[in-house]
Every structure is written in C-alpha cells, then in structure tokens.
Amino acid sequence: MSDANWKIQGSSGEYIHGNTSTPSSDPKGIILVAHGFKGYKDYGMFPWLTQKFVEQGFIAHRFNFSHSGMTATDGPFERPDLFERDTWNFQVEDLAILTRELGEVGLPVTILGHSRGGVSCLLAAGRGAVKVDGVISLSAPATCNPMTPEVQQELLSKGFIESPSSRTDQMLHVGRAFLQDQLDDPESHDLLPLIERITSRILVIHGEIDPTVSVESAVAIATAGQSTTLVRIPDGDHVYNNPNPFPKEGTPSVQLAAAWSAIQSWLV
C-alpha cells in the first residue's frame, strides 16, 4: 500500500487537503471518505476505514472539506474563518470537484460520509452534482436544517451562532450563510425528496443508541431511497463506540467492526 498527501482547489478557491491510499494490486474501485461537522480526515475511525478499504483492493481518498477550517494537520482549526463561511453548497461543490479530479476511467466510485458528511454525499448525489456508483451514509441526519426556530432567528439577527469545539477548546462560529442558502433555495436543501432521485445504491448505517442523531433519521433516509440497505448497529453510538484518535492498525470496537462488516458485504 502507498499513501500520498495532496491538495486540490475546491469551492470558492479554497483548498481541499487529503490523503490517498492505494493498494499494491490493480484497484477494484475508488472510495471518497467525507468527515462530519467539526470532523477532519484523520478523525477516529477514518484512517482505520481507509486501511480496510485498501486491504479490500480499493483506492481510498480521505479529505478535509475546503471550508472545514482544517488544513493538512489534525490539530486545532487553523481557519475558523472558513468554518464560519461553510455551507451545504460548498460541500457539494467540493464533492463534485473531487469525483471529477480523482475519478479514473473504468473504476466505480463510492462516496462515504459520516454524520454531516453523509448529508453532503446524499445532497450531491440527489442534486446530480456527482455521478457515483454508490453512497454510504454513516450516522447521518435526515435534514439539512436541525436548528430550532429560536436558533435560526439568533443566527439571522447576529450573523453567527457560537459552536464550541470540545476537542480543541476553540469557540467556533456557524455563519449566517449556512442558513441563508437554505432559505434562498429550499428545494435544493430538502434532503428526503432529493434522496428519492438517487438511482445508485445507498447503504445506510446507524447506531441504535446514537445520542447525537436518532436512528429514526436512518430509517427516513433508507425509506426515501430507491435502492437502499439499512443496517442498525446494536449498542452503537454516533461514532460506533470508537475513540479519537484511533490508529489504523488498532482493534476496532465491536460496533465499528459490525459497521465495517456491513460495508464489506455491500461493496461485493
């Protein structure tokens, strides 16, 4: 297996930083791994999943969205200004750019997203912004806008809401554009009807006791899709009971191992 770092110019000219892991044999396909809200390419299970994909013969690209606030490192948010400007549209554009830049003729492409990254992958496929062979949704919400009316009003009036990072102890901001884009174009942010348009296969995995996003979101996503497989992980939380950081050579939790088993079977 070989591993290479890269950066590609993404939405609004900002850079997407990533890693590509390549198997030693001829690849079976390509997997793009998208992180969630306040996540990053080396968070928790992602290096381990990348290793597993490569062992199964896939090229695996894990990356930081251009407006994640993270660059090439796994330390603090070096660009909180970009984090504040992030929107669903930026993330969809990043995925469109990556599938175009990293795709290879004759190789199937699957996009995998965790939590908010899962929503971005489903949005991109539902809007037709990407042409992929499969979508894997891990612990994803079933809506683009989880904010209460009170929080929405605060965001619009102040221009931002505070969103602390427990990992780095930084006070981050979610900016007005995140909500304003949705208010300006509600149809392209109406997730479940967009999922109904996806013709490629969808694998939906969710922990039964996820305290962050209810497993009922997974049920809604799976019900909306045309060709979906739903896997509920017993006793699984939002990150499948796995720590951060977690080495790619580590022993996974029972729940992460179950999630991987479902992915492996689905990919065949």
Q: Which domain holds residue 98?
A: 2-267
In 3D space, the residue among 91, 19, 45, 90 whose CA is nearest the CA of residue 233 turns out to be: 45
Enter the tokens of residue 195.
């999922």
Total number of domains in the chain? 1
Euclidean distance between CA atoms 33 and 30, whole angstroms: 10
Output DSSP code: residue 147. Answer: -
- pLDDT < 70 positions in the chain: 1-2
Q: What is the pLDDT of residues 141-194, one digit of tens each?
A: 999 999 999 999 999 999 999 999 999 999 999 999 999 999 999 999 999 999
Enter the tokens of residue 267.
């990919």
What CATH number corresponds to the domain at position 118? 3.40.50.1820
State residue 1's pLDDT score.
54
Alpha-helix residue ranges (DSSP H) falling in the chain: 46-55, 80-85, 88-102, 116-127, 149-158, 176-184, 191-195, 215-224, 254-267
Assess contact for 88 and 181: CB atoms under 8 A. Answer: yes
- Can you give the pTM of this predicted structure? 0.97
CA angle (73, 12, 96) in 5-degree steps? 80
Q: Give the phi and the psi of residue 43 in degrees, each rounded to 5.
A: -70, 135
State residue 268's pLDDT score.
83
Mean pLDDT rounded to a whole number for the chain: 97
